[in-house]
A and B are shown apart, each in its own frame.
Chain A
Amino acid sequence: MQASLITFIRILRSHDVRVSPAETLDAVAALQLLGYADRDRLRTGLTASLAKTSREQHIVETCFDRYFGQRDADFSGKDDNDDADDTDSAGSAAAGPESPPQDSGAADDGERELLESAAETHDSVRELLQSALMQGLMNNERAQLSAALRRAGSASGVADIQMFTQKGLYVRSILQAMGEEQLRSAVIDLERDEHPALDSIRRYRDILRSQVRDYVDGQYLLHAEGRNSQFMDDILSKTRLSHIERHYMDRVQRLVEKMARRLASRHSSRRRPVRRGQLDMRKTLRAGVPTDGILFRTHWRRRRRDKAQVLALCDVSGSVAAYAKFLLIFLYSLQDILPRMRSFAFSHHLGEISELFETHPVERAVELANWQYGGATDYGGSLRDFARLALNDINRQTSVIILGDARNNRGDPELEIMQSLYQRSKQVIWLNPESRQAWGTGDSEMLRYLSACHFAAECNSLRQLERVIDQLLRSTR
């Protein structure tokens, strides 16, 4: 049982639940206390010791039902459809009461006679009828067949399944291990002279196949699904943003939000006491005790207000359209985290979109920002707009982030404004989706702007973005 608990925890990890070894020990202890008799109770106990949020609670419960809830496969062939549903929504299936064993699937006497008459003329059928598999199928011995199925399953290594394309392979090898070959050859023999027993043998074959398929489907969901989505996230976060297909937008959006959440928890605002402030009477008195009550050493208490402010400017022009959408989503999530953040969008002119972000859901906000400020790029004009809107608010605690390719269509770059930003602010950060080699080529003003940046980086995948922002947040703290 401990081994299966370890497997269960491995599955949880692949579904993005972080389980530490200490928690594994807790789960083992809970298991020993609760025993295996009451499944619901065990489920609750494992959930309590393994999940840390209500989101994880849901995942643990779903996985528990899929993993421990594998009920005996039903070989009667009667409620085939129900069973297929169960595999998909294992959560509801395991909660419900087990359906009472049905023996309607067992062969009736007429069928038996038919088969036995076929056995007299065909060797293959005779052999088949003697096999344990066929006996099990005819008598609908679910427990025995399920056990055989699981044995064959673990022998075939189905727990290592990774891709859905492998399903067929595992189905075949499990069928073979269970002795489906005899069934098949019997069917071929009977087909030759169209024997009346053909239909019932075919029926048994189909029941067996569909049960094995369901089993493999369930195993795939359990073992591969989480791993695959982790793999997918990994790939997406490394891909250049412009190359991600629309099809994956939803996933990327989730990924961006997850990233922002992670950054938020890592950098949630902290306050530190500074050197001087209000007199801390208690500490001062305490320090005065050794000096006979004379307040020799004073202690001060004041909490510094964290006033770091971030201003983010995002280029939404045509040349960076592929990136802009992601960056806007990111700014949107970031604005949720950073209390004093203002967002701006620009192409030929610039405007503040903080309020837009606050009042609309993310997709609508991104659409509106693109629509209102999209067009051909004019960095000079946009910087002038920015200076008018926000230059007076920039001080030593302000970080300015600019997201754009610095391609100015050969207009006036207004380097002076950039320089005054540079002088007034704590830091100016430029994130450019183009690779470093392309900076300064053609109409790119990047190299000139570079002189007025504290930090500039190439940023075209989610991973790079996260790294840069992490750095930024660390310094704004």
Chain B
Amino acid sequence: MNRQALPQFESIEAIRHGFDALGYICSDRIATTVFLAFQLGKPVLVEGPPGVGKTELAKTASALLSLPLIRLQCYEGLDEAKALYEWKYGKQLLYTQILKEKLGDLLQGADDLAAAVERLHAFGDIFYSEAFLEPRPLLTAMQQEEGAILLIDEIDKADYEFESLLLEVLSDFQVSIPEIGTVRARSRPMVFLTSNNTREISDALKRRCLHLYIPFPSLELEERIVQSRVPGIDDALRRQLVAFVHSLRELDLRKTPAISETIDWARSLLLLHADALDAQLVRDSLGTLLKFEQDIEAAQAELGSLLDISAGRH
């Protein structure tokens, strides 16, 4: 893609406004990093706790640029056949059968074996050509004429070896296929990698990326996010519920509620036609925020003081 010609990404402000318009409220840090990644043509490694909008960032970028989003979900045992490319074996087998029948016709008139082989050579490697190639996400992303957004999700879940496979793709935007040669990206895709930090990513991979850490948002930012995502909610209730979630995050919980949970909770409160938080309401709907029984118990024990704090913050 031509990096200068896209007005959506020409400045940090443009990115922020574009993201805002699509309902992704981002901090200055996020906008600056996306801008740099775009201008420098480097991948971004996005880290942070689950549910702060890492995957959403790539989706929004794809919507803003109207480029296709190509997603590669990583998991243990992911290999190049699933990430990069694969040969169409069935088709190859079928063609072999057809070829066998045609072989007699083709070789008619060849005087001896040497001539027959010579004639066969003229056909080249038909079975290992692009026609038999099944592109997987990484190769697909590089074949897009207009460029693409490539999202490599949860890279920490993939094996260590898979990271090495990514090195060539991410630094040179090319793939080596032994039977064909090197396939270069038609236009450089913009790459987002996300990680939940379940294991350390290798230095070699990190070095090729810009690093972006998305923490839990500040109070004001989260209020704006809820406002943009759940527009129907009352101002006072929104302030109160965001403050409540913030004080919940200070407790020692197994799974801290993230932005996505705040949004879910705001939606469910809207459905329940609530206009203020009270103990009963929170107790009944706590399941949307906290996902472990022991967390819910811990929060219920502190419910009174948590509600006081969140009421007091505003």
Q: A residues near B, CB below 8 A?
A: 18, 20, 22-23, 26, 29-30, 33-34, 40-41, 44-45, 47-49, 51-54, 56-57, 265, 268, 270-271, 282, 285-286, 289, 292-293, 303
Which residues of A are found within 8 Å of B89, using beta-carbon distances? 282, 285-286, 289
B36 CB contacts on chain A under 8 angstroms: 30, 33-34, 45, 48-49
- How many angstroms from the CA of A295 to the CA of B62 in the assembled complex? 44
Min CB–CB distance B214 → chain A (angstroms): 10
B207 touches A265 (CB 8 A): no
A48 and B210 within 8 A (CB): yes
Partner among B87, B92, B211 whose Cβ is within 8 Å of the Cβ of A53: B211
Q: Which of B47, B86, B210 has the most CB of A within 10 A?
A: B210
Contact pattern, B 38-67, Cβ under 8 Å of A = 1, otherwise 0: 011010100100000000000000000000
Q: In this assembly, does B273 line the interface, its C-beta being within 8 Å of a C-beta of chain A?
A: no
Asked if residues B93 and A48 are in contact (CB atoms below 8 Å), the reply is no
For residue B127, CB closer than 8 A to chain A, the reply is: yes
Give every chain A residue within 8 A of B92 (Cβ-Cβ): 289
Q: Check B32 against A44 for contact (C-beta < 8 Å).
A: yes
Cβ contact within 8 Å between B206 and A52: yes
Which of A57, A265, A282 contacts B211 (CB under 8 A)? A57
B-side binding surface: helix, strand, loop or mixed?
helix
**A41 and B32 in contact (CB under 8 A), knowing A33-B40, A53-B211, A289-B92?**
yes
Inter-chain pairs besides A48-B211, A282-B89, A293-B97, 17 sampled, C-beta below 8 Å:
A22-B207, A26-B210, A33-B36, A40-B28, A41-B12, A41-B28, A44-B32, A47-B211, A48-B36, A51-B211, A56-B211, A57-B211, A268-B160, A282-B81, A282-B86, A289-B96, A293-B96
Q: Which residues of B contact A22 (CB under 8 A)?
A: 207
A18 to B200, CA, bound (A): 15
Are A23 and B207 neighbours in the complex by a CB distance under 8 Å? yes
Whether B127 and A289, one on each chain, are in contact in the complex, defined by CB atoms closer than 8 angstroms, is: yes
Chain A residues in 8 Å Cβ range of B199: 268
Check A54/B96 contact, CB under 8 A, given A44-B32, A286-B89. no
By a CB distance below 8 angstroms, the chain B residues around A268 are 160, 199-200
CA distance A286 to B32 in the complex (A): 47
Query: Interface centre among B29, B161, B212, by most A CB within 10 Å?
Result: B29
- Contact indicator B96/A48 (Cβ below 8 Å): no
Bound together, the chains give a CA A29 to CA B35 distance in angstroms of 12
Q: Enumerate chain B residues within 8 angstroms of A33, measured Cβ to Cβ.
A: 35-36, 39-40
**Beyond A48-B33, A293-B96, is A30–B40 a contact (Cβ under 8 Å)?**
yes
In the complex, chain A residues whose CB is within 8 Å of the CB of B206: 52-53
CB within 8 Å of A: which B148-185 residues = 159-161
Is the beta-carbon distance between B87 and A286 smaller than 8 angstroms?
yes
